[in-house]
């Protein structure tokens, strides 16, 4: 069954996991968005440690990254109809950068909904042209409904 991201606001979050290397390049301006997402999730993990967990992936080796990709991410790409393999690795080594070089978010839901991964790329048709559109970690968090955001990030 293919899920659509428009269904995300109707789902209830059971857990959020974020893998991030603590030695990430915080001072690089291009990383400001992911650094801000890390700070938001780190704060949420102190407010709701049973829901939100931030994992340090600094010591991950390629095999650790690939295992994380296979165990946590791979099934979501098919279920939600988006692409993640090249974001988290290469054509030859899918997932080889997961968590260590590319910070990664996994949101799990109650019931039988498949987890959502951020970042990911999704096909979009714009003015007759089809292309991949990047959804960042923040974009994925923004898709949650207001009640869930309040419960997780403000309680």
Picking from 59, 150, 127, the residue whose alpha carbon sits closest to that of residue 99 is 59
Decide: helix, strand or coil at residue 118.
Answer: strand
The stretch 4-31 carries a mean pLDDT of 80
Tokens 């096909």 sit on residue: 123
- The band of 2, judged by pLDDT with boundaries at 50, 70 and 90, is very low
The confidence score (pLDDT) of residue 38 equals: 92
Residue 109: other Cβ atoms inside 10 A: 20
pLDDT digits (tens, 9 = 90+) for 84-129: 877 887 777 777 878 888 889 999 999 888 889 988 888 777 777 7
> Which has more confidence, 6 or 85?
85
Asked if the peptide bond before residue 119 counts as cis, ω within 30 degrees of 0, the response is yes
Instruction: Note the pTM of the prediction, 2 decimals.
Output: 0.86
Would the CA dihedral through 32, 37, 40, 43 be positive or negative? negative
Q: Are strands 13-20 and 104-109 parallel, antiparallel or unpaired?
A: antiparallel
């Amino acid at each position: 069954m293919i899920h659509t991201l428009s269904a995300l606001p109707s789902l209830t979050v059971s857990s959020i996991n974020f893998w991030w290397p603590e030695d990430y390049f915080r001072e690089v301006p291009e990383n400001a968005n992911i650094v801000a997402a890390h700070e938001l999730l780190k704060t949420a993990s102190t407010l709701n440690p049973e829901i939100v967990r931030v994992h340090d992936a600094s010591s991950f080796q390629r095999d650790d990254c690939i295992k994380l990709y296979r165990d946590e991410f791979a099934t979501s790409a098919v279920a939600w109809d988006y692409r993640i393999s090249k974001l988290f690795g290469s054509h030859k080594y899918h997932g080889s950068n997961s968590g260590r070089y590319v910070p990664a978010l996994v949101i799990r839901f109650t019931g039988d909904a498949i987890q959502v991964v951020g970042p990911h790329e999704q096909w979009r048709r714009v003015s007759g042209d089809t292309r991949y559109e990047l959804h960042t970690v923040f974009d994925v968090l923004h898709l949650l409904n207001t009640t869930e955001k309040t419960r997780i990030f403000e309680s």
